[in-house]
Structure 1
Amino acid sequence: MELKLYYSPGACSLASHIVLEELGFPYTAQKLNLLEGEQRKAEYLKLNPMGRVPTLVVDGKPLTENPAILTFLGGAFPKKGLWPKETWEQAMLLSALSWCSNTIHPAYAHVIRAGRYTDDSSAQESVKAKGKEMFGEYLKMVDGWLAKTPKWMMGEQYTVGDPYLLVFYRWGNRNGFPVKSLANYTRHANLLLGRPAVRKVMADEGITLD
């Protein structure tokens, strides 16, 4: 199987990048500079017409969106133990991945890309303010969720979902949200930072928690 990941440093693609490294299976990683618009070039749009990251190319076939990519990676390499064995647990993990993608991420996008949601420049500050409010609330919800688990987001088993939570913790930390005061979320982030694959990917992407 040939795997190639298109990513941007520190973007939500960090989750898929970490999982690829955790698997220990050969892959290549292609960095895209979003600020320079590389995601909108014709060659990339043929793979991902939405012009966003991540995109995972599997034997020449593109797969987009973190929940789909993480589900594929977990299911395609069951012996690696990053995907639950029981159907109910699989469904619960997919629910969590969907919530991350469909709820937490868009709230943050309202903060940094208000123009995506309204062309009225006078309304963009309100969009940003509401996004900031909601993103902060979702970080607290993650903290409460992790308070009920012994170690990882799904319990004792480290899964493809855990690196996804690190993405939002890092975004919050870099943008003035008091994430370090969230004891359970911080515990989880520190556990992740203790994993060699996480440290390697962050070094490869040239990013830190700050």
Structure 2
Amino acid sequence: MSLTFYYAPMSTASITEAVLAELGTPCDRVKLDISAGDTRKPDFLKINPNGRIPAIVHEGTPIWESSAITMYLGEVFGVDAKLYPAPGPKRGEAMKWIAWSNVTLAEAASRLSASLPTNSEGAVQSNSQDWVPTEQRSAIALEKAKADIALCLRILDGGLEGKSFLIGDYSLADTHLQGIVGWIGTMEVDLMPFPNVTGWLKRCGERPAIAKLMAG
């Protein structure tokens, strides 16, 4: 098996890192520096023409977009590990949350991150594709991003009502989503009005693989 993981510290690649840790899947790791422009260099653009991380290359095939990576790794390695559902309704439920977390929740979080002062916790790194020059930022955009995130958190809070984890037992859907919610928690967002979310996030953080990453 040949699996290479392209990542940068303090980035959305932490989601894929957590998924790989939960699965215990060995891989070669290639560290990139976003601020130094590593993700825009020709060698990396051959792997991901979007110039973004995370990306993996499995058996010679590049796969990018963190949600696609999570679902792919779940299908290949997660079913036997009891961390990803077999094909069927439960698989669809897991895919629903993974896709929503990137398409809806992370989109709003990215807008908030881009509105924060550079070098503040949770902010977009300079030279990132998502970086916005200071003179183009607005307080209105920041407040809109916060409002959209709050709406998403209400949806997630409702989805967790009466559950320990998203689809019942812990799965890579939780691994994926907790990475995004954890990132949101480092920014100017109060998670306390969403008790189901905060309880779930605490349980996710108690997973041995996740706790080890957080301690590192």
**Which stretches in structure 1 are left out of the alignment for 5+ residues?**
205-210
Q: 1:143 to 1:31 in 2, by over 3 A?
A: farther
| Cα shift at 1:116 | 5.4
Q: d(CA) in 2 for partners of 1:123 and 1:10?
A: 22
Q: d(CA) in 1 for partners of 2:25 and 2:196?
A: 31
- Structure that is richer in helix per residue: 1
Q: Which residue of 1 aligns with 2:57?
A: 57
Superposition misfits of 4+ residues, deviation over 4 angstroms:
114-123
Q: For each residue in 1:66-104, what CA deviation from the matched residue of structure 2 results, as whole angstroms up to 9, or x when unmatched?
A: 221111111112211111124111112112111111101
| Cα shift at 1:134 | 0.5
SS at match of 2:47: coil
- TM-score normalised by the chain length of structure 2: 0.83
| Cα shift at 1:16 | 1.5
SS at match of 2:172: coil
- TM-score normalised by the chain length of structure 1: 0.85
Q: Which residue of 2 aligns with 1:102?
A: 103
Q: d(CA) in 1 for partners of 2:65 and 2:74?
A: 14
| Cα shift at 1:29 | 2.4
Instruction: Answer yes or no: is the 8 Å Cα contact 1:11–1:167 preserved in 2.
Output: no
Instruction: Answer yes or no: is the 8 Å Cα contact 1:83–1:90 preserved in 2.
Output: yes
Q: d(CA) in 1 for partners of 2:60 and 2:23?
A: 20
Instruction: Answer yes or no: is the 8 Å Cα contact 2:105–2:149 preserved in 1.
Output: yes
Q: Identical aligned pairs, as a percentage?
A: 28
Q: For each residue in 1:124-145, what CA deviation from the matched residue of structure 2 results, as whole angstroms up to 9, or x when unmatched?
A: 4322221121012212321221
The worse-fitting range, judged by mean Cα deviation, of 111-120 and 68-77 is 111-120
Alignment root-mean-square deviation, CA: 2.4
Instruction: Give the paired residue count.
Output: 202
**Which stretches in structure 2 are left out of the alignment for 5+ residues?**
116-128
